[in-house]
Structures are given as structure tokens and as C-alpha cells.
Structure 1
């Protein structure tokens, strides 16, 4: 029951957050791109959330513990704080772009953006199914196994790969080109999170040093 209550509370807070960062700066609820984006976001996350709640509630509970206060490493608290600010700025900038017409994204761009959002979110959700210890925070738990198969056989941080794809698609789904500036500003913060996380995993997770030699790339095969 506690997990159900937490999930419901998270859903309510999420809805309030999207109203605050999308429709308020847009100055209207007549923003069809935002409504389509929200529909794609909800549909894509709803199924995996129910699956985890039924089959792997511990994994869902780990995903529910998020935010700067949930991090144990000082560097990650700062990184997550910056991430929240930049993600919020991306939404607000995209909504302001809609309001004032700074850029014009045709419908096909919106479709491409929503496709990227769905693919990125689906990939990130699949990571949690393949690795039940894939939490929203950077930590190593007692008895945590090293996962090197599935998406982890392609890149070392597949959840972040999904996140990048989703974030690239978000401004486009919202009909904004200027929102891509917020995504670009988030890139060095994500790199800092990954590098600090790998430092911890190498020191605390058994077999991770060997895994790094086996899977060379962090986010994109052949690139980085």
C-alpha cells in the first residue's frame, strides 16, 4: 500500500509539475503539442510502471527515490540539482517559444519528437526491467550484481542513452527549436554524472573494472 500511495503521489506531483512548466509559461491550455507530448509520456510509462509494481516492486521503489536529497554523494546532489533546473528550463523555454512564436516547427517535426520521446522512455524503462538495481540515484547496494547482458552489452549506461534520446525529442515534440538550447546545456552535466558514477562503480561494484574493458562505450556505440 505504501508503494501504491507513493506512486499516486508521484503522479499527482508530476501532473502539477507539467502544468507549471508547460501551460503556465505558454499562457494557455490551447497547446496541442503539449497535450500530445503528455499523452505519449503517460502511455509510454504507464505499462512498465504497472509491470514493475506487480512483478518487481523493489525495482519500482528504487525508481521512486529520486532528487538531490536522495543522493548520497555530494557531487551527485549538485549534478541532480543542475539537471532539474536545466530540464525545467527546457520545458519553460519550449513553452515560451510556443507562446511568442520564436520558432516554427511543422507537424512532422512534432511527430519525430514524440517518436524520440517514446523510444527514449521505452529504452530507459527496459533498462529497469533488465537491471532491477537501476535506481534513480547513484549508489551500490549490498549484494548488487553486475549486469552485463541485454542493453548493458551494448553500452555501459543504457538508461542515460534512453534519457538523451527522450530529451532530444522533447523540445521537438513541444513544437520548439529554441528548447534544444536547454538540451545542449544539459550535456556537460550528464557527462559529469556519468564520470562520477563510473568512479564509484569501479571502486564499489565487483567486476565493474573488467566490465569497462569488455564494453568500451558509455552512451553510443562507436562514439563515447
Structure 2
């Protein structure tokens, strides 16, 4: 499984690099190199930790984004996410490097972007530590004894990984130096907000105790906000 983890991580990084540097028209883009190193290194580290402590969850995380157990709406959503993500990377590369629509961002904002990316992945680590059922697709994992998790980050919000994704959405364009990428963030937030609502309907209907959990933990992404 570790070999598969490394292979998928390398393929994923090569794909993102091809989109970023291809759209930028140059390899001389230090911010993009650092972004790939930071995201790839931290993701691989978390994956290796899962391989040792929760191989079942790692297997779920490495599974295809389209599966038979999913509802049709979630299959379409995941395909849409992949396409939008690729388009977003291309937009930021065009903006920051090839066409230079955006003026260079201050170093402080670029550093803030890198910090946001780190915090996103650190929160994901905390999520995986608390929830062995944190699959990337919406489904009930009956074969793994799926149950409601209300500890760790789940004691604060119902979807801590989506909350962490907000940091990634903000941090990525800041680190890459793209104001247009940052302007697109509300579209990404609306997308995961829509999915969170649909996901909760599935969990409330099919997972014992989830409806009660929703009454105890009021907020979805950010405490006292939503």
C-alpha cells in the first residue's frame, strides 16, 4: 500500500505541475515549486502515518473518486471538482506568470498563503486521527463498522475537513500570487457548502445517531459562523 501511496502522490504532483508550469509557460516559478513541495511532502507524510496507524482509512483515501456505493449526485460532483480544480490551477498560472494580470503579492501575503496550506493539512491530520471513516466520497462504510464520530475536531464542527479546505482555497492563490485565483474562492466554497448539505441528508437518513449529532454540534465548517 505504501508503494501505491507514493505512486499516486507522484502522479498527482506531476499532473498539478504540468498544469501549473504548462499554463505559466515557464519552470522559473519558485512559488509553484514550493507549493508542490509543501503539499506533496505533507500529504505523503500523512499518508505514511496512516499506513502505520490506520491502513483501512488509507485504502479509502487512495480509492477512486467515483465508486459504485456513491449516489449519482456525488459521482457527478467529484468529477466536477476534478475539472474545476484543474481549471483553477490553470487560471492562477495564467494570471500570476504568463499574462501577469495580478501585481506581485507582498511577501507577507505569500507567506500567509503557505501557512494556510500547512494549517489545512495539519487539520486534515487531526481529522484522520479522530475519524477512521473520513473517506473522500459520500457513502456509508457498513463493512468497516461506520459510526458517528463526535470527538476531536468533530466536537467543534460537523465537517472539519471542509473547514480545512477553506484554508487551502485561500492559501493556494496567495502562495501562487494570483488575485484572480482568490476571486474564484467563493465558487469553491459554495460548491463544498452544497455538498455538505447533501452529505448530511445521507448521513442523517442512513447512519444511526447522526441526526442527534447534528442537534448537538450546530456548525458545519466554522464555529459560530456556519
TM-score class normalised by the smaller sequence: over 0.9
Mapped pair 1:207 → 2:209: yes
Which has the higher mean CA deviation after the structures are superposed, 109-118 or 43-52?
Answer: 43-52
- 1:116 match: 116
Aligned to 1:82: 80
5+ residue gaps in structure 2? none
User: 2:79, 2:16 → 1: CA distance?
Assistant: 18
Normalised by the size of structure 2, how large is the TM-score?
A: 0.93
Counterpart of 1:102 in structure 2 is 101
Structure 2 counterparts to residues 122-201 of structure 1, below 5 A: 122-142=122-142, 143-201=145-203
Deviation at 1:82, TM superposition (A): 1.8
Residue 31 of structure 1 is aligned with which of 29, 53, 58? 29
Closer, same or farther in 2 for the Cα pair 1:181/1:83, shift >3 Å? farther
TM superposition shift of 1:69: 4.5
The 2-side partners of 1:71 and 1:175 are apart by 39
> How many Å apart are 1:71 and its aligned residue?
6.0
Q: Which residue of 1 aligns with 2:58?
A: 60
Say if 1:154 and 1:106 are closer, same or farther in 2 by CA, change over 3 A. same
Residues 103-156 of structure 1: per-residue CA shift (max 9 Å, x gap): 121222111111001101111222011101111111111221211011000000
User: Cα offset for 1:50?
Assistant: 1.0
CA deviations 1:166-217 (Å, max 9, x no partner) are 1111011111111123322222211121111100000111100110000000
Cα separation, partners in 2 of 1:206 and 1:116, compared to 1, 3 Å = same
Q: Alpha-carbon deviation of 1:56?
A: 1.1
In 2, distance between residues paired with 1:130 and 1:113?
26
